[in-house]
Amino acid sequence: MKIVIFEDEMHNAERLVQLLHQCDPVIEIVAVIGSVAEGMEWLEQDQPVDLMMMDIQLSDGNCFELFRHRKVSTPIIFTTAYDGFALQAFKVNSIDYLMKPIDSRDLRNALKKFGQFKPAGQHPIDFSRIAEEFLRRESTRFIGRLNNQLVYVKAKNIAWLQFTKGVTWATTFTNQRMPLDYSLDQIEKMLDKNLFFRINRQFIIHIDAIRKITTYYNSRLILQLSPGIETDVIISRERVSDFKNWLEGKNYFHG
């Protein structure tokens, strides 16, 4: 079986190659591709492969850019650190996905599913539906009111969100602050959990807003954010373990 791997982090690619050969020593890895641009060049060569292992986020963009320019009919197993937002779309299209870090048993099951899926190869796979779901979440926006005017902010521009005095406030990376017409619970469900984390009842933070993490008494952590904030931003003891897993890119669950 010939497989091409789309992965921009070399250590992840090397581990995936190792796991694949553990599953089936005769698997041939024909290429490891780290960017959308490199992927476009490879697809233009029209090399026949049986399966693609594709990370969603590549070094210069997301892999769905490939499907905008080129029709892809080869079965794909996606690998991703994203938590849940487009997984329903994957299921709808009968395509498997693996959450990072990849577990060898999950990989074996995915390859088994691929073996069962191959006879249905004559039926086209609608990758555009997955791309649409992904890009919809990428462009998520929230609205609010400021001085009798409607305002909006893109999720990707939010550094942190705070609920205080009955209002949810968003602070952007450019230090703009605006009230939003949503609860933190509502917003949390709409955000990419690979980038945002609910540290306590009052705060959701973007990973790129963290400047310093310091141990705090009673087994808690305190964060220094950018843009800065006057109040202490403390991770509750119950959330510390999940927070560390999130920093490492591992999946986490909470009630």
Query: Does residue 23 sit in helix, strand or coil?
Result: helix
pTM: 0.55
Q: Which residues are CB-neighbours of 234 under 8 A, at least 6 positions away?
A: 199, 200, 216, 220, 221, 222, 223
| Contact yes or no for 51/27 (Cβ under 8 A) | no
What one-character DSSP code corresponds to residue 209?
Answer: G
H-helix or E-strand containing 132? helix 127-138
Alpha helices in 54-103 (DSSP H): 65-69, 87-92
Beta strands in 34-134 (DSSP E): 51-55, 57-58, 61-62, 76-80, 97-99
- Tokens for 24, please give them: 């089936």
- 78-131 per-position pLDDT tens digit: 887 655 545 555 654 546 788 888 989 999 999 988 887 754 444 556 676 666
Strands 76-80 and 51-55, by their bridges, are parallel
pLDDT at 92: 47
Segment 162-173, tens digit of pLDDT: 999 999 999 999
Per-residue model confidence as pLDDT tens digits over 122-156: 455 667 666 666 666 556 778 888 787 888 888 88
Q: Could you give the domains of the chain?
A: 2-137 (3.40.50.2300), 140-247 (2.40.50.1020)
